[in-house]
């Protein structure tokens, strides 16, 4: 295997020499570019996730370590030195969802998206997006009805990461979304009202599904297991999760480990369109999403 990579390396070296390039300069440029991309993404993750507070804590520990070292406080230096070794493993455990998501994002390519959209298959991208739009309309309409009847709901919009294990915990439906169907599923006496509904490519894929609960200790204590499950799902996948509170009728949206609480139907519709249509077709409007403004847990 090592020989194989060596021969590939030699091939590229010979190629660069053949085209008159300097491998040293080229590799330095490549090196700097890769490191810049890694640093940019780490800063992005720190800013967008709960890592921010932890990084501040680590910086404080780092400053303490430097001070202790230069002031020759041997016991404190010893403790902080050993703590830092344990901390590396602790961070891997704490950030397991973020690390997993980052690796999953890395493994996702434009090709995957093309396949998911069904280009080259039976449906065109436009057909799938029209169906997704109809589903968003149906969900928004039924959410309004559910609020009026004080009924809770938990709706997961699957995106690139397939939720096969989650679907298995519920009952497969595979039907076109309509306000009537969604209303029926979440009707309090209906057998599938407990748990989450999963929507895949604009179809109601399953209902009565069990989601992973978030272990985040920063979640507001007034939020119960429905909201915790929504947040947990968004921490462990790229899904957009909609919650309608049975108690307060408030609508919340969980995405990438953040919960935006008490949103209006208009914001719900806008966010779903941005995450499920604009993000997928890549028209560049997704970053203007209101989701990241005023996010909370
Ligand atoms: N792990 C889970 N996966 C899917 N659904 C869940 C899960 N845990 C709880 N639920 C749903 O949440 C309901 C309980 O909601 P609970 O009252 O505890 O939460 P809440 O966040 O306070 O919501 P609400 O504001 O609607 O009362 C359950 O009946 C079930 O339908």
Ordered by start, the domain boundaries in the chain are 2-107, 122-281
Does 274 contact ligand 1 (Cβ within 6 A)?
no
| Ligand 1 pocket: which of 185, 189, 226 to mutate (most atoms within 8 A of CB) | 226
Does 195 contact ligand 1 (Cβ within 6 A)?
yes
DSSP string, the chain: -HHHHHHHHHHHHHHHHHTT--HHHHHHHHHHHHHHHHHHHHHHHHHHSTHHHHHHHHHHHHHHHHHHHHTT-HHHHHHHHHHHHHHHHHHHHHTHHHHHHHHHHHH--HHHHHHHTTTTSSS-HHHHHHHHHHHHHHHHHHHHHHHHTT--EEEEE--SS--HHHHHTSEEEEEE--HHHHHHHHSTTSTT-SSEEEEETTEEEEEEEPPPPP--TTS-TT--HHHHHHHHHHHHSS-EEEEE-TTT--EEEEETTEEEEEE-HHHHHHHHHIIIIIHHHT-S-GGG-GGGTT-B-
Predicted-complex ipTM score? 0.95
Better pLDDT: 286 or 64: 64
Which residue's alpha carbon is nearest to atom 25 within ligand 1?
245
Q: Sorting pLDDT into bands at 50, 70 and 90, what band is 172?
A: very high
Q: How far is the CA of 245 from the centre of ligand 1 (A)?
A: 9
**pLDDT for the residue numbered 96:** 76
Structure tokens at 167: 């679907």
Which residue's alpha carbon is nearest to atom 5 within ligand 1?
195
**pLDDT for the residue numbered 9:** 63
Q: Kindly report, residue by residue over 12-66, the tens digit of the pLDDT.
A: 666 666 655 566 787 888 889 888 988 887 777 666 555 667 777 888 888 998 9
Model confidence at 108: pLDDT above 50: yes
For the segment 223-243, the average pLDDT, to the nearest whole number, is 93
Q: Sorting pLDDT into bands at 50, 70 and 90, what band is 127?
A: confident
**pLDDT for the residue numbered 279:** 81
**The domain at 122-281 falls in which architecture?**
3-Layer(aba) Sandwich (3.40)
For the segment 70-80, the average pLDDT, to the nearest whole number, is 89
Strands 196-200 and 153-157: parallel
Cβ atoms of residues 235 and 102 within 8 Å? no
Does 198 contact ligand 1 (Cβ within 6 A)?
no
Minimum-distance ligand 1 atom for the alpha carbon of 248: 25
For the segment 122-146, the average pLDDT, to the nearest whole number, is 88
Q: Sorting pLDDT into bands at 50, 70 and 90, what band is 182?
A: very high
**pLDDT for the residue numbered 4:** 58
Better pLDDT: 127 or 138: 138
| Ligand 1 pocket: which of 167, 191, 214, 225 to mutate (most atoms within 8 A of CB) | 225
For the segment 68-87, the average pLDDT, to the nearest whole number, is 87
Most trustworthy range by pLDDT among 6-10, 74-78, 170-174: 170-174
Which residue's alpha carbon is nearest to atom 31 within ligand 1?
194
Q: Kindly report, residue by residue over 267-284, the tens digit of the pLDDT.
A: 999 999 999 988 876 655
Rounded Cα distance, 168 and 103, in Å: 24
Taking the complete model, does pTM exceed 0.80, yes or no? no
Better pLDDT: 206 or 82: 206
Does 225 contact ligand 1 (Cβ within 6 A)?
yes
Model confidence at 137: pLDDT above 90: yes
Q: Of the given ranges (5-19, 109-123, 246-260), which has the lowest mean pLDDT?
A: 109-123
Structure tokens at 256: 């990438």
Q: Sorting pLDDT into bands at 50, 70 and 90, what band is 8?
A: low
Block residue for tokens 């890549």: 282
Model confidence at 2: pLDDT above 80: no
**pLDDT for the residue numbered 289:** 42
Burial category of 144 from C-beta neighbours within 10 Å (exposed 0-12, middle 13-18, buried 19 and up): middle
């Amino acid at each position: 295997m090592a020989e194989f990579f060596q021969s590939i390396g030699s091939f590229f070296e010979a190629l660069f020499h053949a085209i008159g390039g300097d491998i040293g300069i080229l590799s330095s440029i490549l090196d700097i570019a890769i490191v810049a991309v890694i640093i940019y993404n780490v800063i992005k993750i720190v800013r967008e996730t709960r890592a921010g507070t932890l990084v501040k804590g680590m910086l404080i520990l780092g400053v303490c370590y430097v001070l202790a070292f230069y002031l020759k406080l041997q016991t404190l230096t010893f403790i902080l030195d050993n703590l830092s070794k344990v901390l590396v493993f602790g961070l891997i455990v704490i950030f397991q969802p973020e690390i997993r998501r980052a690796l999953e994002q890395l493994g996702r390519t434009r090709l995957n998206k093309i396949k998911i959209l069904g280009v080259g298959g039976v449906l065109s991208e436009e057909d799938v997006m029209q169906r997704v739009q109809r589903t968003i309309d149906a969900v928004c309409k039924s959410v309004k009805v559910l609020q009026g009847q004080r009924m809770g709901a938990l709706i997961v919009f699957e995106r690139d990461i397939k939720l096969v294990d989650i679907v298995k915990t519920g009952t497969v439906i595979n039907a076109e979304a309509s306000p009537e169907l969604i209303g029926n599923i979440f009707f309090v006496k209906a057998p599938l009202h407990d748990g989450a509904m999963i929507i895949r490519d604009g179809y109601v894929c399953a209902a009565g599904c069990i989601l992973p609960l978030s272990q985040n200790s920063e979640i507001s204590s007034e939020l119960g297991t429905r909201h915790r499950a929504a947040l947990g799902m968004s921490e462990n996948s790229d899904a957009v999760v909609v919650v309608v509170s049975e108690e307060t009728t408030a609508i919340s949206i969980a995405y990438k480990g953040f919960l935006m609480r008490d949103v209006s139907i208009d914001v719900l519709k806008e966010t779903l369109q941005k995450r499920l249509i604009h993000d997928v077709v890549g028209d560049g409007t997704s970053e203007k999403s209101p989701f990241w403004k005023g996010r909370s847990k």
